[in-house]
Amino acid sequence: MTKVGIIGIGHGVFGRRSDATVQELAFEAFSAAMKDAGLTREDLEASVIGSVPEYHKQRSLPGVVQEYLGLNPKPTWLTEVACASGSAAIRTAWMSIQAGVHDVVAVIGCQKMTELTTAEILGLMGRVGEVQWESVFGTTFPAYYAMFARRHMHEFGTTHEQLLQVAVKNHFYGAKNPCALFRKEITLEKAMESDEVALPLQVYDCCANADGAACVILAGEERAKEISNKVVWLEGMGCATASMSVLRRPHMVGLPSAEQSGAEAYKMAGIGPDDIKVAQVHDCFTIAEIMAYEDLGFCKKGGGGKFIADRQSYIGGKVAVNVDGGLKAKGHPIGATGVSQTYEIAKQLRGEAGERQVPGADIGLTHNVGGIGQYCFVQILRRD
């Protein structure tokens, strides 16, 4: 297999970006990544866009992004697997380099979500569930994850206080991230007093919709070494799917797609969970991060609540998780999230994360979930 590395990274500010169109958001991240890599447009051979088109008024989004970035007539295309679209775009670019079709590829995750109302967004997200037998009964994303939370509490004695400790941690680190939507710390008491959403989940258990973009530039080994002296290598790439209906899955205390994709990524990289120093996991809800600890092998099944309570996912614990604030504090522009996760791990492995830097970070992991676990992509990254 061809070795593929990340040679440039860029990230815009996540939030309610009324100041920018989706193509302007893409340019914000793309221009930063190009400057970071020291490349010109002529050096790029293709681009891949990770986004979910239903949230935009513009159809065929890659066309307007490609034109705005000045990349015509180079090839571009879209990847879409719900909230995992960004990581799917990275995997697609990685595969094109593996196949020898391209050698230097820009991957841009971008999403403009605030053009729609909250009710419209909830309707769209609810239909990511199984339409024939589930979403017709009014299922929403919070309701699905509330079911996961209830089952986890029932089987393992996980408490709602433990769930909200995930929120406290992620807001603590989000306050240190200039690209985050929410840059204020919260207390456990404040989180416990927040409004109910879908019990047991409350407002502070849930991530927020946002606008934003992130970009990473990939290259094959020879070109990567020519271009950059701080390459971060994609060492393990796992992905898997699960049934659309959660009722047809073997259990509801984790995501089978995450278990499988994590195992594939570890095998390809030739490492295990204990080797991971820093991780970005898909914390769309607090229970999702706790399940990710277990699905990825950071702790045993059922041990996620104790893992966060013992601060094992803080810097200084067993593995530092979501030290950029995660989806919970950074925000979740769904097409951009997977690329944003990879940006953060690359930054950590390059030792450039400032006050959020994880000491000795040499191997990192991203975990990007699409839908209610129908898709999952796990990447393992390593710095020379």
- Which residues are catalytic, by number? 83, 332
Distance CA 312, CA 329 (A): 19
Distance CA 49, CA 105 (A): 11
Distance CA 113, CA 21 (A): 11
Q: Where are the beta strands (DSSP E) in 242-312?
A: 278-280
- Cβ-Cβ contacts under 8 Å for 119 (sequence gap 6 or more): none
Ordered DSSP codes for 122-148: HHHHHTTS-TTTTGGGT--HHHHHHHH
Query: What's the angle, vertex CA 339, arms to CA 93 and CA 220, rounded to 5?
Result: 35
The number of helices, as runs of H, and strands, as runs of E, in the chain is: 13, 12
Distance CA 55, CA 120 (A): 9
Of 154, 129, 132, 142, the residue nearest 249 (C-alpha): 129
